[in-house]
Amino acid sequence: MEHGQHGSVIAATGGRDPVGATGRNGAGIRPVTADERTARAEANQGEPTLEFADRTPYDAYVHASTLHTLQQTLSKDPGEMSFLMVSQIMELYFGLTCFELRQARQRLGEDDVWAALGPLRRAALHLEGLNAAWRGLRWMTPADFNKFRDLLGEGSGFQSAMYRQLEFLLGLKTPSLIRPFRRQPAVYDALLDALHAPSLWDEVFRLLARRGFDIPTTLLDRDLTEPAEPSPEVERCWVEIYSDTGPDNQLRPLGEALSEISEQFGDWRYQHLKATQRTMGAKPGTGGSGGVAWLQRSMARTVFPELWSARTSM
């Protein structure tokens, strides 16, 4: 899809757009073949198409015109737009990362480690993009934030349902944290399902057990709504896995992909803490928490902890 602003209408079709905005797939896009694209480029003499029967196929696919209506600020301060839009970008990254982690969890449940590596590596890259979003708020001082903070009321990133989904998928489960969503039945039910479902880390435990590793039954059969306690047995499994440097060892690259996700997620939490310190110091959080103190306690919960502790014995 070209973003250029110059070009000519397809002369061969009398100005009509054979790839009209109303397509067969119901999304306003008609699929085209490589031959059709070549013919289009030749007819356009290399210039992008400028005439369409309806909305542009790009907008029909991306819904950009809808996305750009979702920034509804509460103040007249221009800095609030950065705060709001970066928050929305992070929400999209939360959802995208959850999508990838669910794909990886499914592949691990099917005993297909190689297939799980693709979505795990993409998830790590998405988390890297998520971390980069913090740069858009590095300009914000307490004085800047205070210009619109009071208007947020009790609104807080703590109330992000998709972030809770991400935490649950990574094994950071806290049943009480779904309570704020009880008045939103669809959101609450989705979180309840995620709370009771095995996390990605739980699926790794099951995979290792099927591969003959000594995973405690107390870990495999525990209440999945509670986080798994760090296990010496799981730590020893990873020491053994990393000692096998053979080309057929699928579990070593799995450990590295999971470690990258854990590291990137830890980086996001650290940057969240620093951004909070930069904009509000040690003031109470908007959502009723202790602010920085709450974030510091949250950071103490490590994702996939045995992958890190095992390195001491490797």
Q: Cα angle at 175 between 210 and 131, to 5 degrees?
A: 80
Summarize the annotated binding site as residue ranges.
149, 272, 286
End-to-end CA distance of the chain: 49
Residue 238: CB atoms within 10 Å: 26
For tokens 């590793």, name the residue.
213
Q: What is the largest CA-CA distance in the chain?
A: 73
Q: What are phi and psi of 151, to 5 degrees?
A: -70, -20
For 161, residues 6+ apart whose C-beta sits below 8 A from its C-beta are: 181, 184, 187, 190, 191
User: How far apart, in Å, are the Cα atoms of 128 and each of 90, 116, 122, 154, 305?
Assistant: 11, 19, 10, 29, 20
Question: For the residues of 29-54, what is the DSSP string, one character each?
Answer: -----HHHHHHHHHHTTTPPP---SS
Q: How much is the CA Rg of the chain, to the nearest whole Å?
A: 24
For 138, residues 6+ apart whose C-beta sits below 8 A from its C-beta are: 275, 278
Burial class (CB in 10 A: 0-12, 13-18, 19+), 201: buried
Summarize the annotated binding site for substrate as residue ranges.
149, 286
Positive or negative torsion for Cα 211, 216, 222, 225:
negative
Determine which helix (DSSP H) or strand (DSSP E) holds 26, and give its type and residue range: none
Residue type, 60: A
Distance between CA atoms of residues 109 and 178, nearest Å: 26
